[in-house]
Amino acid sequence: MNRQMRRTNRKCRLWWPTHLSCLNQLTNLHSYAFLFGWFISSSDASFDIVVAFACDESSLLSMTTHMNLERVLQGINRKMPVFLQDKSKLSLLGYYAADFSSNGQLLMVRSKGKKHVNSTSKRTCVCAEQHAPEGKRGRWRCGCHKLDAILEQSRAFSLKDNIWAQIVCDNSQAVSRKVELIPKVHHIHRMGETIFQLDVHVVFYGIPVFGGHHYSLGFKSSSEQVTNHCKKPEWVKDLNRKRPYLDLDAVILSINTANAARVFTEANYSAKRSRAPFHFFCMFSILTWQLLAILLASFSTIFYVILQFFHACLIHVSHSYIYVALEKVFSNTCKNMEIRCCQLLYWPVILKDYGLRSQSCVEYAEKAAFHKHSMWAGLVVDLLLGNFLGIILWSRARAACVWVSNFSENATNYLLRTGCVWLMGNPAGFKLNTELAGVLGTISLIAIQIWSTLWWLLGFFLIHLIKVVAVFGSLFGLTAAAALIIDTISLATTHVSALQWLLTLLYSWQIQAVDALWRLFRGRKWNPLRQRLDSYAYSVEQHVVGSLLFTPLLLLLPTTSLFYIFFTIMKTTISFVCIAIQFGISIIHATPYIKIFFWFMRRKRFPSGLWFEIVLCQRNATNSAEVKSADKTVSGSEDPRHCRSAVLVSFLHSNFLSLRQVVWPHYRNVFSDVSRSSIALSAYGVLTGKRTPSAPKIGLPPTLPWVSIPYKEYWRLCHEAVLDCWQDCYCQLHQ
C-alpha cells in the first residue's frame, strides 16, 4: 500500500479549444457531446489528448447511419499531413458531459441493475438504473454513459484504438470571460486499463483558421533539422536516442489541422442540413466572377499567342551571328525578360489548386498561399514601378536625353581626357617615364576620341533609346528596364573597358616578369605541379639577361601602375553602378510584398514560438464516494484513495516574427556572394592585375520551362485558375 501511495500520477496534457468552454456552446450541444481529436503518447507515463471539435449525438448518428465511423475517420486521416499520420490518427476520443454534482465530480450511483460485458474492453460494467438528466440511459459503473446501440459501436471502435476519455465540465471556477467551464478528466480507458488518477495540464487554445492565426514552434522540427557531420559525444547520442517527454511537433501539427478535421467531418452529414436561400447577391457574385474569369482568360490567351509568335521567331534566328552577339551584349535584358515572360505565362498554373492535403494544416496552407501569391504580387509591384518609370521617361524623354548627353560629355572631357593628359605629365609629383607615358596617353586619347565620335554620330538614336526603356518598363516591369539600362551602360563604356583590359594585361605581364626575375636572383623557381618554390641553379648567362631585363621593367613599373590604377578606378566606378542596379533588380524580385502587406494587416499569420499563460494551479483530492464505486471495477491500477491529482490550467499564446525576420530570409540569397573573403579576393586581384571587380551572381528567380500548349487549353487553364481563386475565397468566408 505504501508503495502504491508513493507512485507518481500519470501526466496528461489536455489541449482544449477555447470555444468549447462557453456555456452557450454546451447549451447548443445539449449539455453533452462526443469529442474528436488525436491521442499522442510520448511515453507510458505521459500522453497528450488534443481535442479538435465536439459533435452532438444527432450529428454523430446522422454520420454513422449512412457510413461506418471507421471508414469516415480513415477517409479523413488520408487527407491529413503524412507526419501526423505517422504519429497519430484522428479518432473519437470520448465523451464530454456536464458536471451535475456540487463537488465537481460525476454523480456516481449504486448499481442495482444487471451486469453488461463490453466485448472490446473485456471489463464488466454495471448499468445504473438511475437516469441522468437530458434523457440519458444511465451510466456504467466506471462513470461512462450508456449510449444508443449505434453509438455504442462507435465507443467500442474507440476502445479498440485503446483510448476513451470521460471529461466533465466544471463551472465553479471561471478563469476568463471566454472560458466559463474548465474541463476535467474523470477517467480514461487506455489499453484495457481504467485510469482515474492523473496530473492534468489543461491548455486552452484558439482554433487555427486560414487567414486568422496558427501556431508554430519557431524552429525546425526534428524531422527537418540538417544533419551535422561533426563527431558528437556519446552522451549527446544517448540523449537523441531517448524518447522525448513531449512530442510538441505532433501536438502543434494536430492543433493546426483541427479546423480541417472539423470541416471534413461535417461534410459527411452536411447533406441533411437545410440549404441557405439563394440570394440575389450570391447570383451577382457568381456572374461577376464568371465574367472576370472570361476576360482574364481571353486577355491572357492573346498575350500568350503574341509571346509564342516572338519566341518562334527568336528560335528561327537563334543560330545567326547577329543574334549571338546581341544576346551577349544584352545578356541582362534577355535574362530578365525570360524570367518575366515565364512568370506571365505560368500565373494560371501557380494559382490553380491541385489538392486538399496542403490545405488540411493551416500552417502548410499559409505557406502554400504565400508561395502561390508571392509571384503575382511581385509581378504587380514590378509592373506598377515600371509603368511609373515609363510614364516619367516618356513624358521627359527630351530632358532625359539632354541630361545624358551632358553627363557623358562632361565625363569624357573632364575625367577621361583630362586624366590622360595629367598622367602624361608629372601626376602628384611622381617622376614617370616620359616616353612610355606619352605612348600610353596617346593611345588612350585616340581610343576615347574614336568612341566619342561614334556616339556623336549615333546621338539622334539616344532619345529613341530612352523611349525604348520606357516601353520596356511599361510592358515587362522595372526590372527589365533596369537590366536594359545596365546593358546600355556597359555598351556605352566599352572604350573604358577595352583600355582597362589592355592596361591590366600590360601591368599583369610586367608584375609577373619582375616576380620571376626576382626569383632568379634568389635561386628559386616556381614548381606549378607542387605549387611551391624549389631551389634551382641558374647559369651566368641567365643572371646577366635577368639583370638587363629587371632594371628597365622595374623602372617602368610606376608609369604602367598609374595608368592601370586610373583606368581601374574608372572601370570599378562603372561596375559599382551596374552592381547597385543589379542588386536593386534582385531586391525587387526577392521582396515578399504579400508577406509585408499581411504583416502590417494581420501579424498573427506570422507566429514564431509559443508561451503559456498559467491561470490556475491546484491539487484536488478524490471524492470518496466515487472512489468506492470505481475501486470495485478497476483492477491492477493504483489506489486512488490516498493520491492527490494536480490540475494546471493555462492558455496557449504565440510570439510573432518581426518585419526583419520576415524579410531577411528572402534577401539572404541576394547578399550571399558578398563576404569578406570575396572582397579580399577582389582587392588582391586588383593589386596583382589578375582580377577586376565584376557584378556578383545575384539571386534571380529560377527560369521556368517555356510553356507550349494549344491556346484553347491555355484559355481553359486561365479560366479554371480564376474560378479556383473564387472558390477559395468563398470557402474561407463560410468556414
pLDDT at 164: 80
Residues 150, 20 contacting (CB under 8 angstroms): no
For residues 140 and 503, the model is more confident at 503
- Is the pLDDT at 377 greater than 60? The verdict is yes
Q: List the grid coordinates of 455.
A: 556616339
Q: What is the mean pLDDT of residues 103-116?
A: 37
pLDDT at 599: 93
Q: Residue 668: CA atoms inside 13 Å, Cβ hemisphere, count?
A: 7
Q: Which residues pair with 194 in a beta bridge?
A: 189
The string of DSSP letters for 309-378 reads: HHHHHHHHTTTSHHHHHHHHHTHHHHHHHHHHHHHHHHHHHHHS---SHHHHSHHHHHHHHHHHHHHHHH
Q: What are phi and psi of 208, to 5 degrees?
A: -65, 135
| Residue 169, amino acid | C
- Per the listing, cell 509571384 goes with 375
pLDDT at 139: 61
For residues 389 and 19, the model is more confident at 389
Region label for 235, one of left (φ > 0), alpha (ψ between -120 and 50) or beta (otherwise): alpha
For 107-111, 197-201, 397-401, which range has the lowest pLDDT when averaged over its residues? 107-111
State how far the Cα of 429 lies from the Cα of 558, in Å rounded to an integer. Answer: 12
For 72-76, 330-334, 464-468, which range has the lowest pLDDT when averaged over its residues? 72-76
| Residue 396, amino acid | R
State how far the Cα of 665 lies from the Cα of 604, in Å rounded to an integer. Answer: 19
Residues 197, 645 contacting (CB under 8 angstroms): yes
Q: What is the mean pLDDT of residues 75-93?
A: 87
pLDDT tens string 605-645: 999 989 999 888 877 644 433 434 444 444 444 444 445 56
- The arrangement of strands across the sheet holding 164-170 comes to 193-195, 182-190, 164-170, 91-98, 32-43, 46-55, 10-17, 198-205, 644-656, 607-621
Answer positive or negative: Cα dihedral of 246, 249, 252, 258: negative
pLDDT tens string 446-502: 999 999 898 888 888 889 999 999 999 998 899 999 999 999 999 999 999 999 999
Residues 92, 154 contacting (CB under 8 angstroms): yes
Residues 301, 715 contacting (CB under 8 angstroms): yes
Nearest to 55 by CA among 43, 72, 39, 75: 72
Pairing of strands 91-98, 123-126: unpaired
For residues 642 and 421, the model is more confident at 421
pLDDT tens string 233-277: 776 666 666 666 678 888 999 999 998 888 888 776 654 444 445
State how far the Cα of 247 lies from the Cα of 439, in Å rounded to an integer. Answer: 78
